[in-house]
Amino acid sequence: MSNFTHLECSKCGHKHDADKVQTVCTECGKPLFARYDLEAIKDAVSPKDFVGREASMWRYWELLPVKDEANKVSLGEGWTPLIHVERLGKSIGLPDLWIKDEGIIPTGTFKARGLAMAVSKAKELGIEKLALPSAGNAAGSMTAYGARAGMESYVFMPMDAPDVNKIECQIVGAKVFLVNGLITDAGKMVADGVPEMGWFPLSTLKEPYRVEGKKTMGIEVAEQFDWSLPDVIVYPTGGGTGIIGMWKVFDELEELGWIGSERPRMVSVQASGCAPIPKAYAEGKEESEFWQGAETLAAGLRVPHALGDFLVLNAARESGGSALSVTDEEIMDCVGQIAREEGLFICPEGAATFAALKHIIEDGEVDKDERVVLFNTGSGLKYTSLFEVDAPVFNVGEKIDYKSL
């Protein structure tokens, strides 16, 4: 029994058949949202039923779009730790600070949630070949779940994509192609190949199910705080699926009666070298403009134009949150500070949230007694190419002055 009923356009509300392969809205080209029979979910399950279920995002089965459990493609993603970072919090006068740590998830980033869900749905819909233009972590996750599902994966990556991402795709047997151009050029190559190859492209928000995987982060935070939400959520935004998914699921949880009508203030963070969403936010616009010459070492945030920009902006505004950018230098300083103070080697995208938090505290946007959750979206171990080893060398037999170490 599935409670997933249909797909609905997030912009114009047009309904689409969920038993067919769908991409974006056939009327207006915007992303589609999965809709559920929430009354049926209410009858089937209540929050206490989740206690003791499997420690992955699949514990929320009733709220997910996969209909037959045989189609679930999983490596154990989700149910990540929500860590009270007291020392880090104290350093900025905020005792109730938490990090939702997605760094320990399969494939090393939270892209696993979205792609586990999308690949599972692709399997359910009878798709055999996946394709993705990607400059990074999405490709690593897609190809891992593709391999797990026994599907063929084709990845088109800009030549300057990080080696770690090329290698993780290659090792699981994906067909990896490097493009002497930009991510947009890679996107065009995939699109042009679709008719001939029968690929299912899994680009961000161009299929409806990655959002459903990422929304589980919002349910987890609610459950981990005993079905309450924090005052503020700070989220590093690229394509926006995570913030969009969480904002969507909060409404679902409220309709189920599992949480109240209060919402966290949603703060969307980008890097100053690629900040289309903060720019649109500051200018009071509903949609963002393409960001020319996007550049940041937080590769997951290097998205010059997001199809779901209007949804991110809406979540930030409706919740009383905001959108702001931070520099790469601030980001790297925060990677070091968080690692030294909490032992968490997080990715630059995740560290951007802490840099942003410092700004909004300075601007008086957060009270000292408020509960704040930062999202760390991936492991720093995927980013070792950004660092250099800095350690003295001893020769064998050399006399070491231990006290001076």
Annotate each residue in 284-303 with x if it binds ligand PLP (CB under 6 A) or - if it does not, as one string.
----------------x---
- Give the x-and-dash track for 373-392 against ligand PLP (CB under 6 A): ----xx--------------
CB atoms within 10 A of CB 136: 24
Residue 107 binds which entry of Zn ion, ligand PLP, none, CB below 5-8 Å type-dependent = none
**Which partner from the list Zn ion, ligand PLP, none does 300 bind, CB cut-off 5 to 8 Å by kind?**
ligand PLP
Nearer to ligand PLP, 64 or 269 (CB): 269
Question: Per CB under 6 A, does 240 bind ligand PLP?
Answer: yes
Nearer to ligand PLP, 133 or 236 (CB): 236
Minimum Å gap between C-beta 57 and Zn ion is 27
Question: Considering only residues 90-109, where is the footprint of ligand PLP by CB under 6 A?
Answer: 109
Q: What per-residue string of b and e applies to 233-270 under the rule 16 or more CB within 10 Å gives b?
A: bbbbbbbbbbbbbbbbbbebbeebebbeeebbbbbbbb
Task: Single out the residue of 92, 90, 110, 117 nearest to residue 375, CA to CA.
Answer: 110
- How is residue 288 written in tokens? 């963002």
Beta-sheet strand order (sheet of 200-201)? 175-179, 152-158, 129-133, 200-201
Question: Does 134 participate in binding ligand PLP (rule CB under 6 A)?
Answer: no
Question: In the bound complex, what is the minimum distance in angstroms from residue 93's beta carbon to ligand PLP?
Answer: 27
C-alpha to C-alpha distance for 385 and 51, rounded to whole angstroms: 40
Identify what 14 binds: Zn ion, ligand PLP, none; CB under 5 to 8 Å per kind: Zn ion
Q: How many whole angstroms separate alpha carbon 93 and alpha carbon 297?
A: 28
Q: Which does 44 bind (CB under 5 to 8 A by kind): ligand PLP, Zn ion, none?
A: none
Name residue, tokens 């190419």. Answer: 385
Residues lying near ligand PLP in the complex (CB under 6 A) are found at: 109, 111, 136-137, 204, 236-242, 300, 347, 349, 377-378
Residues lying near Zn ion in the complex (CB under 5 A) are found at: 9, 11-12, 14, 25, 27-28, 30
